[in-house]
Structure 1
Amino acid sequence: MKKIILIAAILLGALTKGQAQVLTKRIGQAVKEGYQDVKEAIVQDAKPSGEHTIWDIYAAPKVGLNLSNLPGIDGKVKLGLIAGGYFEVFVAKNIAVDAEIKYSRQGSSGVYRNFTTTDATGNIVIQEHGPYDFKLDYFNMSYLVRWYPWADLPWSFTTGLNTEYIISAHAKLKHGADMNLKKGIYRGDVAIPLGISYEWKQWQLEARYNVFFRKLARSNEAKELMRNARNNMLEVTLGYRIQVL
């Protein structure tokens, strides 16, 4: 009886080992084929031009840097990060519409503010405070029209509407307190983007200036510090275009 059990265990072990080897081989082959499919979908033989087929659809992640400041207060230009992606659909041979989402860090640095107070004798005293470093983090949604004016050149021009929603907002006084401005400024902002881009293979280099109009400060405390400040931003991004249809 013991011999029979031992022989059965050996046979079961051999069978299990063989099945495991077959299963491992099949999994490896599936992973290899899946990787190849993904690679072929992402790496395309693109020869961009200014003329496309109607209803072509592209997707593109993008990342870059922006230069921003806050007109209305005397500050320095701030360097920030911008990252996101968009979908693009061609509605004509040389015109596409885009829907884009992205994150951006904006603001201004080296900002000084003068505050008027009265001393113990009733005299008016002007006190200078600063420098402040403004850090504004936004979630952006853009609705754009892209125009390719030349059929044989991959240059395009972009405009539309950019909406921003505040994620966090801080004004840090050098060697001092960090003021949370999120509740003191307007939650949303709107801009008109004006951009130009060039495509090479699947890469797209784009420069875009966003024209803002709205004053940021909403509460009295924020108005005391920010006065008539509004957003102002120039962004330069590098995107990787993938044709999905």
Structure 2
Amino acid sequence: MKRTILTVVIFLGVLTSSQGQIFNKSNTKRIGQNIKESFQNIKKTLVQDTRPSGEHTIWDIYIAPKIGLDLSNLPGIDGNVKLGVVGAAYVEVFVAKNIAIDAEMQYSRQGSSGVYRNLHTTDAAGTPTVREYGPYDFKLDYINTNYLVRWYPWADLPWSFTTGLHMGYIVSAHAKMKHGADKNIKRDIHSGDLALPLGISYEWKQWQLEARYNLYFRKLARSHEAEVLMRNARNNMLEVTLGYRIKMF
């Protein structure tokens, strides 16, 4: 036991001595200088002195995270507009002086609220009746992939217009009735969706403010139960986002 304790003490002494030699004043100063230079390089990459215009160099590459809000509803059913969140990041490559191609990954919360479901039945006497259920709150979470063409029409102004293809994949879908059950409808609606995005944006320094409307064409319901609840509903969304553009090359 005494021999074991002595061995541990000797080992800790050697380790402490080695650390003292490694982290002497000279090495500590050098390490601190390297960390400082690394932070300065990162800052230079993220914070750029730019004056955006409508004309760029071919093969310029930008990346940009963005976040914002969306207003959505479900045309085809009588519901209220719903406020949701949008988060995205994109890579942009200029293929001409005023035209760029964007590839964007995006999350969006969509849906509608205040939706009522009407059931047409007959009573015991055979008289047609209508029973109303609701209101329902639809919450639809999508992961979207956007392939966009961005056009800068004016060389001296940082305004741009976008269009392309919006492809959505449903990751969560719920219809909750007020003071009632929360129904998972993910399997009852189509997993994929397509839209035509139409956007306009303005750049100031590295910031980009963009408004985009997504025009959807596909009916959501795929099962009979969903058709009873949602009828011919489809998505509809207007989004406003603020992005931070970083020039990589």
Q: TM-score by structure 2 length?
A: 0.91
Distance (whole Å) between structure 2 residues aligned to residue 152 and residue 35 of structure 1 = 34
User: How far did residue 15 of structure 1 move?
Assistant: 5.9
The one-letter code sitting in structure 2 at the alignment partner of 1:56 is D
Distance (whole Å) between structure 2 residues aligned to residue 12 and residue 56 of structure 1 = 51
User: How far did residue 32 of structure 1 move?
Assistant: 1.6
Distance (whole Å) between structure 2 residues aligned to residue 230 and residue 12 of structure 1 = 68
Instruction: Out of 16-25 and 50-59, give the one that drifted further.
Output: 16-25
The one-letter code sitting in structure 1 at the alignment partner of 2:22 is Q
**Percent of pairs with identical residues:** 70
Distance (whole Å) between structure 2 residues aligned to residue 115 and residue 152 of structure 1 = 59
The one-letter code sitting in structure 1 at the alignment partner of 2:240 is V
Which SS does the other structure have where 1:98 is aligned?
strand
Q: TM-score by structure 1 length?
A: 0.92
Distance (whole Å) between structure 1 residues aligned to residue 218 and residue 19 of structure 2 = 70
Instruction: Out of 34-43 and 57-66, give the one that drifted further.
Output: 34-43
User: How far did residue 228 of structure 1 move?
Assistant: 0.5
Question: Given the alignment, which residue of 168, 187, 191 partners 1:187?
Answer: 191
How does 1:1-245 map onto structure 2 within 5 Å? 16-22=19-25, 23-245=27-249
Which SS does the other structure have where 2:155 is aligned?
coil
Deviation track 1:10-61 (CA, whole Å, cap 9, x = no partner) reads 8985664242235444433322221111111010011100000000000000
Deviation track 1:216-243 (CA, whole Å, cap 9, x = no partner) reads 0000010000000000000000000000
Distance (whole Å) between structure 2 residues aligned to residue 164 and residue 43 of structure 1 = 32
The one-letter code sitting in structure 1 at the alignment partner of 2:213 is Y
Runs of 5+ consecutive residues of structure 1 not aligned to the other structure:
1-8
The one-letter code sitting in structure 1 at the alignment partner of 2:220 is L
Distance 1:161 1:25, change over 3 A: same
Distance (whole Å) between structure 1 residues aligned to residue 58 and residue 176 of structure 2 = 50
Give the total of aligned pairs.
237
The one-letter code sitting in structure 1 at the alignment partner of 2:189 is I
Which SS does the other structure have where 2:142 is aligned?
strand
Distance 1:24 1:124, change over 3 A: farther
User: How far did residue 125 of structure 1 move?
Assistant: 2.3
User: How far did residue 179 of structure 1 move?
Assistant: 1.1
Runs of 5+ consecutive residues of structure 2 not aligned to the other structure:
1-11
